[in-house]
């Protein structure tokens, strides 16, 4: 019986092993494509020359990131790579609290023309942030100055520049508020209202939301839409029922529109100890006086004197009320006080005539 020679089969195994070994060598060579006899060394320092310890030095040979394991600088800020092939490497240096640095470096593997030391100075993030904060603060001061001077367009341009440099959402909202205010002051009420309303819609804090709704109401009133303005103020009062600024604004609007009776409920809602605007309360009293309701008028005028004892207008109208009631001594005292406080008052001549009569 014929048998195949055994040697022909046993020779296959060494051949397969050799092939596998060859593949492993090729794979290892590819993985170590950066390896050679060259070296790189250098240092990492701050801008003012102080060594940075623990900075990471990363080298890679190609776009796939092949390169040696990263190194870290010692306490003197120094580092050194050995066993690098010749050619171009990308070097990236990072350290906590500093702006990373990246560049291209060429390794000379042979000869005396070795790559010179690579010394890098990293910029501090804090220093950059401080400088930027100082720059933005200066821009903000300039914009605020223009706002105070009534240069609305100039202030707005400044605020836009400040806004572009800000990342904090809370700070951006404050600048957006200032921009909206420039539109309102400039008379562009529609744009102002749109911006104030958008800010109010995005505000969760009830006090801040109420303040934004006041500005919406102001823009509506400036457009002549009194009812919409009052409706917006009511929305603000739902959020903060005793908000003094909102109540005062409603009072001022109603009194300005000759709706003194509608203003009184808002006056009564003011917290104890809060003063009503003198002119608003005087107008309410004058309306009552003109209607012949002397007692109500006197009550309003005396309330003004309670809050503003040196208000000459209040003394004049209190004197008129007492004169109408025939309480001459009290009338004389208040008319004389008017002349004492404001000798050139527009009602001074009338007050003198009444005193002559008395």
For residue range 271-281, what is the model confidence (pLDDT) as tens digits?
A: 888 888 888 88
Q: Is the pLDDT of residue 29 over 90?
A: no
pLDDT at 58: 94
pLDDT at 113: 63
DSSP string, 157-213: HHHHHHHHT---HHHHHHHHHHHHHHHHHHT-HHHHHHHHHHHHHT---HHHHHHHH
List pLDDT tens digits, range 93-143: 999 999 899 999 999 887 656 778 999 999 998 888 888 888 888 999 999
Band of pLDDT at residue 63, cut at 50, 70 and 90: confident
Residue 113 within any structural domain of the chain: yes
What length does the chain have?
358
* Tally of domains within the chain: 2
Band of pLDDT at residue 256, cut at 50, 70 and 90: confident
The last residue of one of the domains, among 123, 148, 163, is 123
Cβ–Cβ under 8 Å, residues 96 and 20? no
Band of pLDDT at residue 4, cut at 50, 70 and 90: very low
pLDDT at 7: 40
Q: Is the pLDDT of residue 146 over 50?
A: yes
Round to whole Å and give the CA distance between 350 and 99.
78
Residue 37 within any structural domain of the chain: yes
Q: What is the mean pLDDT of residues 156-162?
A: 94
pLDDT at 121: 94
Q: Is the pLDDT of residue 8 over 60?
A: no
Mean pLDDT (the chain, rounded): 87
pLDDT at 18: 39
The last residue of one of the domains, among 123, 142, 173, is 123
Closest CA to 69 of 26, 53, 79: 79
Residue 186 within any structural domain of the chain: no
The last residue of one of the domains, among 74, 104, 123, is 123
Residue 43 within any structural domain of the chain: yes
Q: Is 25 helix (H, G, I), strand (E, B) or coil?
A: helix
pLDDT at 109: 82
Q: Is the pLDDT of residue 200 over 80?
A: yes
CA 91 from chain centre, in angstroms, equals 39
Round to whole Å and give the CA distance between 53 and 49.
13
List pLDDT tens digits, range 277-299: 888 889 889 989 999 999 999 99
Cβ–Cβ under 8 Å, residues 331 and 354? yes
pLDDT at 15: 37
Cβ–Cβ under 8 Å, residues 267 and 249? no
Residue 39 within any structural domain of the chain: yes
pLDDT at 41: 93
- Dihedral (C-alpha) 338, 340, 344, 348: value to the nearest 10 degrees? 40
Which string of b and e fits 60-82 if b means at least 16 CB within 10 Å? bbeeeeebbeeeebeeebbbebe
Closest CA to 233 of 214, 252, 220: 214
List pLDDT tens digits, range 213-238: 999 999 999 999 999 999 999 999 99
Band of pLDDT at residue 2, cut at 50, 70 and 90: very low
Q: Order of strands across the sheet with 78-84?
A: 78-84, 35-46, 118-122
Q: Which residues contact 356 (CB under 8 A, 6 or more apart)?
A: none
CATH number at residue 349: 1.25.40.10
Using a pLDDT cut of 90, give the percent of the chain over it: 64
pLDDT at 208: 94
Residue 344 within any structural domain of the chain: yes
CA atoms within 13 A on the CB side of 57: 25
Round to whole Å and give the CA distance between 256 and 164.
40
Q: Which two tokens stand for residue 342?
A: 């404001």
Least confident of 1-10, 79-88, 333-342: 1-10
Residue 41 within any structural domain of the chain: yes
pLDDT at 168: 86
pTM: 0.60
Q: Is 253 helix (H, G, I), strand (E, B) or coil?
A: helix
Residue 266 within any structural domain of the chain: no
Backbone angles phi, psi at 45, to 5 degrees: -135, 170
Band of pLDDT at residue 14, cut at 50, 70 and 90: very low
CATH number at residue 94: 2.60.40.1120
- The range of the structural domain enclosing residue 77 comes to 30-123
């Amino acid at each position: 019986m014929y048998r195949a020679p055994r040697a022909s089969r046993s020779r296959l195994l060494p051949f397969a092993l050799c092939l596998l070994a060859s593949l492993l060598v090729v794979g290892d060579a590819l993985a170590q494509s950066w390896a050679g006899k060259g070296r790189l060394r250098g240092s990492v320092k701050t801008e003012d020359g102080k060594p940075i310890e623990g900075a990471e030095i990363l080298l890679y040979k190609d776009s796939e990131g092949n390169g040696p394991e990263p190194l870290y600088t010692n306490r003197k800020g120094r580092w050194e790579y050995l066993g690098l092939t010749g050619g171009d490497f990308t070097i990236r240096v990072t350290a906590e609290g500093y702006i990373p640095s990246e560049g291209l470096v060429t390794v000379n593997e042979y000869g005396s023309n070795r790559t010179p030391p690579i010394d890098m100075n990293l910029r501090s993030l804090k220093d950059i942030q401080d400088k930027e904060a100082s720059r933005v603060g200066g821009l903000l001061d300039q914009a605020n100055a223009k706002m105070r001077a009534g240069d609305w367009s100039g202030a707005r341009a400044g605020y836009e520049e400040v806004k572009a440099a800000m990342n904090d959402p809370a700070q951006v909202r404050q600048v957006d508020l200032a921009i909206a205010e420039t539109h309102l002051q400039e008379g562009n009420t529609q744009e102002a209202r749109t911006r104030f309303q958008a800010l109010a819609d995005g505000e969760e804090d009830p006090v801040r939301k109420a303040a934004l709704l006041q500005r919406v109401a102001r823009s509506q009133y400036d457009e002549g839409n009194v009812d919409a303005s009052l409706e917006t103020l009511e929305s603000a009062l739902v959020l903060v029922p005793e908000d003094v600024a909102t109540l005062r604004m409603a009072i001022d609007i109603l009194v300005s529109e000759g709706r003194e009776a509608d203003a009184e409920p808002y006056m009564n809602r003011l917290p104890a100890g809060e003063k009503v605007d003198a002119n608003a309360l005087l107008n309410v009293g004058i309306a009552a006086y003109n209607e012949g309701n002397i007692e109500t008028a006197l009550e309003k005028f005396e309330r003004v004197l309670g809050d503003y004892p040196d208000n000459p207008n209040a003394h004049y109208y209190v004197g008129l009320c007492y004169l109408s009631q025939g309480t001459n001594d009290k009338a004389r005292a208040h008319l004389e006080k008017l002349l004492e406080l404001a000798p050139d008052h527009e009602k001074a001549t009338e007050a003198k005539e009444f005193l002559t009569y008395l």
